[in-house]
A = this chain, B = another copy of it.
């Protein structure tokens, strides 16, 4: 497990400009891990991917941190038939902003997650059943601490940079505080140092949708089973908060499903047409004979149902509870007295990027991170990108964002380099 050179085997078969075929790997430790809340598990697994190669000095590693519904698969494809590359494939690859010709890029599924890393859906060796909600409470700090153990095991002495958006940005900020100087550059985008009451409220409704689903069973459901309806509802609602009023109006407007099917093919990728729009149960929504139908009518409804349906096939409901709770509890100011105080120990150069139409983690919340870093006497830059694509802007095609990231990575670090 500690053969770092084997574990960080670089990927091959890359088409020009693309990472190409990649394979996820599991890193497993049997060393006990104690969570921030004091509970201990007897070891854990992180599933991860890497792109590019470490250089001789091992000082070119960039850690990518994923958001709530993301995972370790942030670039490349898993098979030649794979039509959907990793979630940040537009940013990562040969010659891209995270240039895999220069950098050794790593990304792990967070602890508490459900894509291969240890979390509530993992089997508890003590019971032979999934942990469910007996898994310890997970915080953003735990995610970072678990990743540090993994990176140490891989023999990564320091990070050239850590980068993430949304919850990935929270992890990036936590890296700066938890392990001062280990990551020399921090790039956090579309994020916050603490959520607003509104953002907590949306997460809470999602959790209630899951926990009130009779299939939740207090978290004690069999592998593959679980509160699919509640999870789909949570996802549909959350998805609205990732977009913007303007982008939804442009993408869907008030078009009705029947209208679109009659209309000439759109130039842009249409929302998936669903004959079976009853995403979760696939039962018809209307009874027979003159009853009102509440079946899908507007394109935006079809799109959301599709989002809900695809999410339940890839995400564990208990993980959704754990990770949204970790996000809600993240509060750098509360944990350290003030945000400025939290940043006193930072030994990184920081770039924060906000997006004007992000109403989940609005620009002000991003800007205030940099203001506190500057007050704490740390090098930090803030950029605000004008976009109408909402919170998800950080995931979408954006040459301006790529240039910002590329430029920040290329320029000399404004703090003393510690370990390389």
Please report A residues at the B interface, Cβ cutoff 8 Å: 39, 132-137, 194-198, 200-202, 204-205, 207-209, 211-214, 218-220, 229, 232-233, 236-237, 240, 243-245, 248-249, 251-254, 279-281, 285-287, 289-292, 294, 297-298, 300-301, 304-305, 308, 321-322, 325, 328-329, 331, 334, 359, 362
B134 and A200 contact, CB distance less than 8 A = no
Instruction: Specify the chain B residue showing the minimal Cβ separation from A285.
Output: B211
Question: In the complex, what's the smallest C-beta–C-beta distance from A247 to chain B, in angstroms?
Answer: 9
* Neighbouring B residues of A135 by C-beta, 8 Å: 292
B220 and A233 contact, CB distance less than 8 A = no
Task: State A287–B134 Cα separation when bound (angstroms).
Answer: 8
A248 in complex: contacting residue of B198, B211, B213, B253, CB < 8 Å:
B198
* Max chain B Cβ within 10 angstroms of own Cβ: one of A252, A254, A287: A254
Copies of this polypeptide in the complex: 2
A243 and B198 contact, CB distance less than 8 A = yes
A197 and B249 contact, CB distance less than 8 A = yes
Question: In the complex, what's the smallest C-beta–C-beta distance from A150 to chain B, in angstroms?
Answer: 23
A294 in complex: contacting residue of B196, B201, B205, B325, CB < 8 Å:
B325
Instruction: Specify the chain B residue showing the minimal Cβ separation from A228.
Output: B212
A200 and B39 contact, CB distance less than 8 A = no
Task: State A214–B230 Cα separation when bound (angstroms).
Answer: 11
| A-B pairs, 5 with minimum CB distance | A197-B248, A212-B229, A197-B252, A204-B301, A197-B300
Task: State A211–B211 Cα separation when bound (angstroms).
Answer: 17
* Neighbouring B residues of A325 by C-beta, 8 Å: 292, 294, 297
A292-B136, A298-B328 as given contacts; A218 in contact with B287, CB under 8 Å: yes
* Neighbouring B residues of A197 by C-beta, 8 Å: 245, 248-249, 251-254, 298, 300
**Can you list 19 residue pairs at the A/B interface with Cβ under 8 Å?**
A39-B290, A135-B292, A196-B248, A197-B252, A197-B254, A197-B298, A198-B248, A198-B249, A200-B300, A201-B236, A202-B237, A204-B304, A212-B232, A212-B233, A212-B281, A213-B229, A219-B287, A254-B331, A298-B328
* Neighbouring B residues of A287 by C-beta, 8 Å: 132-134, 218-220
A205 and B304 contact, CB distance less than 8 A = yes
* Neighbouring B residues of A362 by C-beta, 8 Å: 245
* Neighbouring B residues of A133 by C-beta, 8 Å: 286-287, 291-292, 294
Instruction: Specify the chain B residue showing the minimal Cβ separation from A220.
Output: B287
A197-B252, A218-B285 as given contacts; A298 in contact with B243, CB under 8 Å: no
Question: In the complex, what's the smallest C-beta–C-beta distance from A237 to chain B, in angstroms?
Answer: 5
Instruction: Specify the chain B residue showing the minimal Cβ separation from A235.
Output: B205
Task: State A39–B211 Cα separation when bound (angstroms).
Answer: 39
Task: State A322–B291 Cα separation when bound (angstroms).
Answer: 12
B298 and A254 contact, CB distance less than 8 A = no
Instruction: Specify the chain B residue showing the minimal Cβ separation from A284.
Output: B218
B194 and A254 contact, CB distance less than 8 A = yes
Question: In the complex, what's the smallest C-beta–C-beta distance from A143 to chain B, in angstroms?
Answer: 15
Question: In the complex, what's the smallest C-beta–C-beta distance from A292 to chain B, in angstroms?
Answer: 5
Question: In the complex, what's the smallest C-beta–C-beta distance from A272 to chain B, in angstroms?
Answer: 15
Task: State A95–B197 Cα separation when bound (angstroms).
Answer: 38
A301 and B201 contact, CB distance less than 8 A = yes
B301 and A196 contact, CB distance less than 8 A = no
